[in-house]
Amino acid sequence: MSKEILHIVASYDISDPKRLAKVAKEMKNYGERVLKSVFECNLNPQKFEEMKEKVEGIIEPIEDSVRYYILCDKCIKEVDYSGKGELFQEDEDYILG
């Protein structure tokens, strides 16, 4: 099992309100909403692919757009913001037994 964690900023522009709601609901399973159409996610590569596949099953590629920006560890330290919000948070590890 891979220990690699990808720091991802996912943003989307979805033209249909129903698809928009479905994409937002799905993205909540993988990351934290930081703006209306922007999520920050810390995922291993397998979970990232899983998220993309689920989102691609919802969107209409000709009408909608989803972008994934993968940030390196150095870039994470350079993240800055103004106003309400927090910097990228590391996910807690959970052991399921």
In whole angstroms, what is the distance from residue 19 CA to residue 37 CA?
Answer: 12
CA atoms within 13 A on the CB side of 13: 4
Domains of the chain by range and CATH?
Answer: 6-73 (3.30.70.240)
pLDDT given at position 34? 92
pLDDT in tens, the chain (97 residues): 558 999 999 999 999 999 999 999 999 999 999 999 999 999 999 999 999 999 999 999 999 999 999 999 888 888 887 887 655 555 444 444 4
For 38, counting Cβ atoms within 10 Å of its Cβ (0-12 exposed, 13-18 middle, 19+ buried), the class is middle
